[in-house]
């Protein structure tokens, strides 16, 4: 692999109190890893090193998205005015049944291109798309081709066979088939074939653990531990997805577990998460939109839990972590400010700082997905996952506090270059592993075909059926 000397950038570093600094330093990348960081470095290795001028730029660890349903990217703008129940009726147990393998591939590849374009270098991909082995392989193929680092969390999920009325078929047989697919994927070394240089690994998404026989759930959890597979589960008790409570009450394994959401945690919940070394990923945009509850990132972070950020579904939310950082920060400030207002007071200082959400989107997310020893910060020996941000754009020029600039002013338009595993996947504003002009045309044709396929579906009928299936009819108003 190539070697690079990235010179003169303002390098994002964190101290033990999660305070950021941006000293002007050089970064030497050799192969997949960072080999040196310092001032005025030169090439003394006796080999060719490409010098990259990063003066006037921020060099930071790539953003880490701890909870993303990448395969849903094709359905942008479909469920922006929908509750979680409606999202499931319209999308997850609705439009997704019309996707063929080519649609899944295009959706997955475009979603990862969006992530890279926005400076994301790693995703924990909670993928309900594994209803067939072919679908799973298309997601994996697209992931390898994109160049991103990913924990591909294959997730068994019951999908309708048809709609209006919704016919679920034999869900136990579906689940057994999907578990078999996951176990077969675990045999692939490396996952996805020789094109995978270590960036892609297999994980498990396991929302079905609530509904299947306990012995089957335990067997699969033991399998995940045996194969060192990270585990991710939705924790949304308001919608009958109580992952944290289920793990605690049933004394289930918590090896490399990451919970998404976990809004409004009780003190005993926070203690359990910390004691069991569980990761928490907050997705503030979707949590606020879909009545999950109040985003919990700051509560867990302040308790020194493993806390990160994610975007959730790209069909619902913005595809970048800049948006999630802003929302997490300002929502928490708003709620804390309200406690002063209730007493007729005003805060003497802001209750949360930009450094904290910047940490959550980088090293915090690395901790949340149990990869902090490999990624999340720019350190010698860690993988060279680096995002370079320009500071001379109309939105960033003349910034002096780079932490604040990254959180409150920056956007994907300012992401100049992205390196994953020592390889440039975006450079000088252009995606390198994906032919975007070709891909966007295929996506538009795919979407047009899909719109024809689901033309005539009565989505209100599907929603009404799910009210009973989810035991929500009595609490909706």
Distance CA 293, CA 304 (A): 21
Per-residue confidence (pLDDT) for residue 130, from 0 to 100: 86
Q: Is 1 a residue whose pLDDT tops 80?
A: no
Nearest to residue 123, comparing CAs of 133, 109, 135? 109
In terms of residues, how long is the chain?
A: 477
Q: Could you tell me the two tokens for 378? A: 């720019």
Q: Tens digit of pLDDT for each residue in 261-299?
A: 999 999 999 999 999 999 999 999 999 999 999 999 999
Domain-embedded: residue 124: yes
Q: Is 47 a residue whose pLDDT tops 80?
A: no
Domain-embedded: residue 342: yes
Per-residue confidence (pLDDT) for residue 294, from 0 to 100: 97
Per-residue confidence (pLDDT) for residue 42, from 0 to 100: 87
Q: Tens digit of pLDDT for each residue in 49-100?
A: 999 999 999 999 999 999 999 999 999 999 999 999 999 999 999 999 999 9
Rama region for 36: left / alpha / beta (φ>0; ψ in -120 to 50; rest): beta
Place of tokens 């060279």: 384
Give long-range contacts, CB 8 A cutoff, 24+ apart: 133-140. Answer: 133/181, 133/184, 134/101, 135/99, 135/101, 135/104, 136/181, 136/185, 138/101, 138/102, 138/104, 138/105, 138/108, 139/70, 139/71, 139/104, 139/105, 139/108, 140/185, 140/191, 140/192, 140/200
Per-residue confidence (pLDDT) for residue 129, from 0 to 100: 83
Mean of the per-residue pLDDT values for the chain?
96
Nearest to residue 153, comparing CAs of 195, 174, 190, 182? 182
Per-residue confidence (pLDDT) for residue 337, from 0 to 100: 97
Q: Is 450 a residue whose pLDDT tops 80?
A: yes
End-to-end CA distance of the chain: 59
Cα dist from 8 to 12, 42, 304, 352, 407, whole Å:
12, 12, 33, 30, 22
Provide the 8-state DSSP code for 371.
Answer: -
Q: Tens digit of pLDDT for each residue in 196-207?
A: 999 999 999 999
Distance CA 4, CA 67 (A): 31
Provide the 8-state DSSP code for 317.
Answer: S
Average pLDDT over residues 439-447: 98
| Domain count for the chain | 1
Average pLDDT over residues 427-438: 98
Burial (0-12, 13-18, 19+ Cβ within 10 Å), 3: middle
pLDDT band at 45; cut points 50, 70, 90:
low
- Residues with Cβ within 8 Å of 192's Cβ and at least 6 positions away in sequence, in order, are 140, 141, 143, 144, 200
Per-residue confidence (pLDDT) for residue 46, from 0 to 100: 60
Q: Could you tell me the two tokens for 222? A: 């033991």
Which residue segment(s) compose the domain that 3 sits in?
1-371+383-477
Distance CA 292, CA 264 (A): 9
Domain-embedded: residue 377: no
Can you list the alpha helix ranges (DSSP code H) found in 276-389? 284-289, 297-302, 321-341, 354-359, 365-368
Q: Which of 45-59, 97-111, 336-350 has the lowest mean pLDDT?
A: 45-59
Per-residue confidence (pLDDT) for residue 439, from 0 to 100: 98
Helix (H) or strand (E) holding 263: none
Distance CA 114, CA 322 (A): 13
Domain-embedded: residue 376: no
Domain-embedded: residue 378: no
- Residues with Cβ within 8 Å of 306's Cβ and at least 6 positions away in sequence, in order, are 277, 278, 279, 280, 300, 364, 367, 368, 370
Cα dist from 368 to 195, 226, 322, 373, whole Å:
27, 20, 18, 12
Average pLDDT over residues 398-425: 98
Nearest to residue 361, comparing CAs of 283, 266, 245? 283
Kindly report the backbone phi and psi dihedral angles of residue 201, in degrees, each rounded to the nearest multiple of 5, phi listed first.
-135, 160
Average pLDDT over residues 227-245: 96
Average pLDDT over residues 416-430: 99
Here the CATH number for the domain that contains residue 246 is 3.20.20.140
Per-residue confidence (pLDDT) for residue 126, from 0 to 100: 98
Q: Is 19 a residue whose pLDDT tops 90?
A: yes
Kindly report the backbone phi and psi dihedral angles of residue 33, in degrees, each rounded to the nearest multiple of 5, phi listed first.
-125, 165
High-pLDDT (> 90) share of the chain, %: 95
Q: Which residues pair with 152 in a beta bridge?
A: 125, 202
Distance CA 91, CA 365 (A): 27
């Amino acid at each position: 692999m190539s070697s690079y000397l990235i010179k003169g950038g303002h390098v994002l570093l964190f101290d033990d109190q999660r305070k950021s600094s941006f000293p002007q330093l050089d970064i030497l990348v050799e192969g997949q890893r960072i080999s040196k960081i310092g001032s005025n470095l030169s090439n003394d290795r006796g080999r060719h090193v490409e010098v990259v001028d990063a003066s006037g730029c921020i060099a930071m660890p790539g953003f880490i998205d701890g909870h993303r349903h990448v395969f849903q990217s094709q359905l942008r703008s479909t469920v922006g005015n929908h509750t979680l129940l409606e999202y499931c009726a319209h999308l997850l147990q609705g439009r997704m049944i019309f996707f063929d393998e080519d649609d899944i591939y295009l959706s997955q590849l475009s979603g990862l291109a969006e992530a890279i374009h926005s400076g994301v270098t790693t995703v924990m991909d909670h993928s309900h798309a594994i209803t067939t082995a072919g679908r799973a392989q298309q997601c994996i193929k697209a992931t390898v081709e994109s160049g991103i680092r990913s924990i591909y969390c294959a997730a068994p999920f019951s999908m309708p066979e048809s709609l209006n009325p919704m016919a679920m078929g034999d869900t136990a047989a579906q689940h057994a088939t999907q578990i078999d697919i996951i176990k077969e994927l675990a045999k692939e070394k490396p996952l996805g074939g020789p094109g995978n240089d270590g960036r892609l690994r297999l994980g498990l998404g396991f929302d079905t653990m609530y509904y299947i026989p306990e012995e089957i759930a335990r067997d699969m959890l033991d399998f995940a531990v045996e194969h060192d597979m990270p585990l991710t589960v939705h924790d949304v008790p308001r919608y009958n997805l109580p992952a944290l409570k289920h793990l605690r009450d049933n004394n289930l394994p918590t090896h490399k577990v990451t919970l998404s959401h976990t809004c409004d945690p009780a003190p005993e919940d926070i203690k359990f998460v910390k004691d069991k070394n569980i990761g928490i990923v907050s997705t503030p945009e979707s949590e606020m939109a879909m009545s999950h509850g109040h985003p919990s990132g700051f509560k867990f972070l302040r308790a020194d839990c493993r806390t990160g950020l994610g975007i959730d579904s790209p069909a619902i939310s913005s595809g970048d972590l800049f948006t999630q950082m802003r929302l997490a920060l300002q929502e928490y400030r708003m709620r804390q400010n309200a406690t002063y207002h209730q007493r007729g007071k005003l805060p003497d200082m802001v209750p949360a700082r930009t450094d904290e959400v910047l940490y959550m989107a980088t090293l915090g997310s690395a901790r949340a997905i149990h990869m902090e020893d490999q990624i999340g910060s720019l350190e010698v020996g860690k993988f060279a996952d680096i995002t370079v941000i320009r500071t001379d754009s109309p939105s960033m020029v003349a910034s002096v506090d780079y932490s604040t600039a990254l959180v409150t002013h920056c956007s994907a338009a300012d992401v100049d270059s992205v390196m994953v595993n020592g390889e440039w996947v975006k450079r000088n504003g252009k995606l390198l592993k994906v032919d975007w002009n070709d891909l966007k045309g295929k996506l538009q044709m795919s979407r047009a075909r899909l719109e024809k396929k689901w033309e005539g579906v009565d989505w209100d009928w599907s929603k009404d059926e799910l009210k009973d299936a989810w035991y929500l009819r009595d609490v909706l108003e």
